[in-house]
Structure 1
């Protein structure tokens, strides 16, 4: 019972939670990004809002970059902090520009994604990631010199 109520966490527990968070949020975001990628690559004219003076096609391209490419990076834990930034920006644009006049229910999912990406931005990818693996290999190579 004391373990459940204790505020102390072992680093392995945090790393497991970061892994679950990374994989979960990346897979869920890919379900939004892949249809947009298909729209971008498809034959049909793009039906997407242009944002801040950008063309609809370029706005869609930036959104696809964030929702597909950055999600794949986060999935594997490669540049997680950096990859979180475009996703946070994309969700901020969705919430505060695209859905500005819509009911709160339309904004809720974007806000949830923002709150999921913020810990990844601050904490990074954790031990179970390519970032950690590459850092470990780099440190071993540096020590051998």
Structure 2
């Protein structure tokens, strides 16, 4: 019981929480992005809102980029902070432009997706990610070189 009430988290539990958040939100967003990817490459007409002076195909391509490619990057933890930015923008556009006139129940899903992306932007991907492995491989050789110089 004492452990449940402790406000101080170990580094390992934070890294596991970031892993669960990354994998969970990426997998959920891929279920929204995959049908858009299929729509983008289908022969039929594109049924998607045209925004910012772009065609429906252009806005659909941007949505596919963020919801599929950026979600895959977040899933493996590669460039997580950068990959979160297009997803944050996509969710803000979905909530405040596409569903602006809709009731809150239609906006709620976009807001729920927005929150973990903001957290990942602020925290990064954690220890269980490609980002961490790349950072370790970059830092270790320079540290080893500085020891051998002395």
State the TM-score, normalized to the length of structure 1.
0.98
Deviations 1:79-120 (A, max 9, x none): 101100000100000000000111111001000001111110
SS at match of 1:50: coil
> In 1, Cα distance between the equivalents of 2:134 and 2:115?
27
Report what 2:4 is aligned to.
4
CA shift at 1:141, angstroms?
Answer: 2.2
SS at match of 1:87: helix
> In 1, Cα distance between the equivalents of 2:144 and 2:43?
54
> In 1, Cα distance between the equivalents of 2:64 and 2:87?
10
CA shift at 1:54, angstroms?
Answer: 1.0
Question: Mapping of 1:97-116 within 5 angstroms?
Answer: 97-116=97-116
Structure 2, unaligned stretches of length 5 or more?
A: 146-150
Quick check: which has more Rg, 1 or 2?
A: 2
Report what 1:58 is aligned to.
58
Instruction: Give the aligned length.
Output: 145
SS at match of 2:13: helix
State the TM-score, normalized to the length of structure 2.
0.94
> In 1, Cα distance between the equivalents of 2:95 and 2:113?
10
> In 2, Cα distance between the equivalents of 1:141 and 1:46?
50
Structure 1, unaligned stretches of length 5 or more?
A: none
Name the Cα RMSD after superposition.
0.8
